[in-house]
Structure 1
Amino acid sequence: MGIGVYHTAIWARKRGIKLVVVDILDAYSTLISKMKLMGMETSSLENVDVIKLGGGSTAGNVRVKIKDISEPVILSKKFNEAYRAVLSEEKGQVLTLAFGLEKLFTALNLSERAVQLIIDQLAKYIGDDRRITILLVNSDILPENRKFVLNLLEDMATTVIRTSKMGRMIEFHIIKSINSELEGICVRF
């Protein structure tokens, strides 16, 4: 995942698109630490604006930290306020990378109604041409009784890309796209 995130950050910077990270339960912070251990350059990822949901690390320029994430209604309200504030400061496009959704759906004992509330909050921003959002979800972490969350996220998404690693090769497979010419494309690195 680190290589893809690194290249996404470079892509955004070259186009003058502001990068904002949503770090759920230190998933982004953990990724940065792993990238450093692998010897990867992380400076372009360390100075981005971060909205923290739970967790204790402080990777990036933490703009807002929402400590209590146990109540989905309050979490959604606080997140929307923080995210709108970040968007309102920018004249151009914003690329949002969200890390750790699987942790949110796994760590909290959320009802199906609460899961739907979070999905609905994410869906509010679809069609806002000021922003691009990439939700990075480690589906292997979700327990079987939470796999339905993937279906809800994929149904909402405009593009779904599955990644897998085979030996030293990483594969990106476009499962769904609003651009029908992209569907089914598989790229290997």
Structure 2
Amino acid sequence: MTVGECPLFPLLCSSCRTPLPAALCNSDEPILCRHCSKQLQVELFPAILKPLHEGGSVGLQVTEGEASCFYHPDKQAIKICSSCGRFICSLCEIDLAGRCLCPVCLEQGRQNEQLSELVTKRTLHDSIALNTALLPLLIWPVTLITAPIALYLALTAWRKPTSILPRTRIRIVFALLFSVLQIIAWAALGVFLFQKWSS
């Protein structure tokens, strides 16, 4: 293939968005963008560099006595979705970590964050609880309100999934410790002021 752009869409530099020559892709060595000199490593599937061909319909046509795809009644079913049990054709079959899923179950799992293989971000409840316990110390009277909130957040964070990257529960432990200490301090101050006023 001669030096030029990818036939399907231009390959752009991630920094300056300048088109990159497709011939420089899939090389063992990093390449430099001609415009901004950013070092890049571009890997393309070989099929993307091939010209498009007109083709027939995807999947086998269903014949009498065979199961058809739930989503494409004219296509022969080749697998069963491991989540919903629907028959699906080769066009609908999605292999995810050894499980066969249909497109609907894959999308529902992504939206409900039930497929850990597809989760790309997660709320760090432990960090929120720790920040709620520590940051109000800068304006200490606010801790009268934020300490119980931090305690609640830390207790609920204990049952929620942690970060996608491995991390300990030390933030939750510190959030529990600091919030309980603040509540004890406020209770002690309240007892002290009550005794002072009552005497």
Give the alignment's TM-score, normalised by structure 2.
0.21
Highest RCO, 1 vs 2 (Cα 8 Å, sep ≥ 6): 1
Quick check: which one's strand share is greater?
1
Larger Rg: 2
